[in-house]
Amino acid sequence: MGLKRSDRRGFLKSGAVLAGGLALGAVRPASGQTPESVAFIKGSEELIAYGQRSRFETAVRISHGRTPSPDAFGLVKHVATPLQESVGVITPSALHYVGTTRGSYIPDIDPQEHRLMIHGMVDRPLTFTMEDLKRLPSVTRLHFIECAANRPSPTAKTIQESHGMTSCAEWTGVLLSVLLKEVGVKGGASWIVAEGAEEVKGASSIPMAKAMHDCLVCYGMNGEAVRPQQGYPLRLLVPGFEGIFNVKWLRRIKVVDEYYMTYNDYGHLRQEPENAALGYLIGPKSVITFPCAGQQLPGRGFYEISGLAWSGGGAIRRVEVSTDGGRRWTDAEIRGTAYRMAHTRFSLNWNWDGTETALLSRCTDEQGKIQPSRAQVAEFFNVPLDPSYRVPGRDNTIQTWRVASDGSVHNAYA
C-alpha cells in the first residue's frame, strides 16, 4: 500500500513497523567507528590526479547474453549495466552499457588525427577536426540509449540480465542540424548514413527529419570526454531511437535520397510489417530497480520502491506501481525533473506485510502512450500469450518482480 509523502516521517518514527534490520533509535557509531579508529585510504598521486570509487563499492558490468566480453580474440560484444545498484538517473561512465553490433576491437583514436567528413547531397562537402567542432555552439543534454537486445526474458535471473542494456548520461556536443546547415543539404535529400571508424563501421541510415531535429554529434559525456567504449572521440546521439542508430567513433556522414542498406541491417531489418510498424522509437518503458530480481529483503516493513522510466517519445509524465500483482495501481512520485528521452527516477513508499506478492511498474509518456503488458501486445497482434511468445521489435513490456515470503525477489515472466 502506498503512502503519501507527508506520511513518511511519522511512519519512519514508529520504529515498530520497520524491517528488523533497520535499527532506528540505536544511536552509536557503526561497528566501533570512533574518530581515532577510522582507517584511511593512502593518498597516491594517481588517486589525486584521477579518482576512483571506494573499494567497498562492487557494482560491475557483465557480459550480456551468452557471448563473453572480451571474447577469445579480444573483441568487445554486448556488456550490461548493473541497474540494481543505480541511484539517481545518470549512469557513471565506467558502468555505461556497451553495445557493439558485431563485436569490435575498441578503436584507439588520437583526437588530433580524427576527422568527421560530411558529404553526399550537399552544397559544400566539409571535413571537421575535433577542434573545429569544439568551436561551434554546444548543447548539453541528458539522454538514455537502449539496445534492442534489452527485453524482459524468461531466463534472466537479475535485472542486469533483462534490463542492463540501457544507460543514461549527460551528453555534450554540437547539434547535427548546425553541421548540416554548414554543408547545405540539397533538395531531395531524405536520409543520412552515419558511419563509425572501426572495422565493421557500425553504420546506420537515419531519416533527415530526425537528423535535423535533435541529433547530437557528441564529444562530451558526464563532464569529460566520451569514453572509448562509448565512441571516443566522437559519437552520434539519436535521442529516443533504438541504440544501433547512435553511431560511435563517428567519422563520416553521407547525405542521401534513400535508405541505405548497411552491415547493421543484418539482423535488424524490419521485414515483418508488424515489426516495421513499430518504427525506430524506444519505449515507453519502466522497471523497478529496487526491490528487483536477485535482491533479498531482510524482512517485512518499510521500503522505498524505486525505479527508472524512459521513452523515445519524449518526457515521462506518469509512473504507476502495483504492489499486489497488478490488481491496484498507485501513482509513483517522479523524482527530480523528467527530461525528454532521459531516464527518469520514480519512487513509491511501501510497507511490506511479509506475504508473497508481485511488484510491477508502468509508465506513460508525454504523448500519452502507456507501457503495455505482454498480454496486451499479444492481444494487439492477435496471437496466443504463452511464455515462448516473443514480442516483436523492441520489447517495452511491463516487468513483474515476485517477492517471496522469505524476502527473496525473482523474475516473474509469463
Ligand X SMILES: Nc1nc2c(c(=O)[nH]1)N[C@H]1C(S)=C(S)[C@@H](COP(=O)(O)O)O[C@H]1N2
Q: Cα angle at 91 between 90 and 93, to 5 degrees?
A: 120
Which residues in the 102-131 window bind ligand X by CB under 6 A? 104
**In whole angstroms, how close is the CB of 62 to ligand X at the nearest point?**
14
97 binds ligand X (CB under 6 A): yes
d(CA 267, CA 358): 34
**In whole angstroms, how close is the CB of 86 to ligand X at the nearest point?**
15
In this structure, what C-alpha cell is assigned to residue 84? 540494481
d(CA 71, CA 52): 26
Binding pattern to ligand X, positions 223-262, x when CB under 6 A?
Answer: -------x------------xx-xxxx-------------
Q: Which among ligand X, Mo ion, none contacts residue 249 (Cβ within 5 to 8 A by kind)?
A: ligand X
User: Which C-beta is closer to Mo ion: that of 185 or that of 247?
Assistant: 247
310 binds ligand X (CB under 6 A): no
Bin 354: left if φ > 0, else alpha if -120 < ψ < 50, else beta. Answer: left
d(CA 75, CA 104): 5
d(CA 281, CA 149): 14
Q: 315 near 339, Cβ under 8 Å? A: yes
User: Which C-beta is closer to ligand X: that of 122 or that of 238?
Assistant: 238
d(CA 294, CA 84): 9
C-alpha torsion 26→30→35→39, nearest 10: 180
236 binds Mo ion (CB under 5 A): no
158 binds ligand X (CB under 6 A): no
The CB-nearest residue to Mo ion is: 147
Distances in whole angstroms, Cα of residue 395 to Cα of each of 68, 168, 221, 351: 23, 18, 27, 31
99 binds ligand X (CB under 6 A): yes
Size of the site for ligand X (CB under 6 A): 20
Q: Which among Mo ion, ligand X, none contacts residue 95 (Cβ within 5 to 8 A by kind)?
A: none
- Helices of type H across 50-103: none
Bin 213: left if φ > 0, else alpha if -120 < ψ < 50, else beta. Answer: alpha
User: Which C-beta is closer to ligand X: that of 117 or that of 370?
Assistant: 117
**In whole angstroms, how close is the CB of 250 to ligand X at the nearest point?**
7
Binding pattern to Mo ion, positions 85-104, x when CB under 5 A?
Answer: --------------x-----
Name which position in 133, 147, 185, 297 contacts Mo ion (CB under 5 A).
147
User: Which C-beta is closer to Mo ion: that of 104 or that of 222?
Assistant: 104
User: Which C-beta is closer to ligand X: that of 197 or that of 409?
Assistant: 197
Name which position in 100, 323, 373, 411 contacts ligand X (CB under 6 A).
100
Q: 326 near 399, Cβ under 8 Å? A: no
Contacts of 40 (CB under 8 A, 6+ apart): none
User: Which residues would be at the binding site for Mo ion (CB under 5 A)?
Assistant: 99, 147, 243-244
| Binding footprint of ligand X on the chain (CB under 6 A) | 96-101, 104, 145, 147, 167, 196, 198, 202, 230, 243-244, 246-249
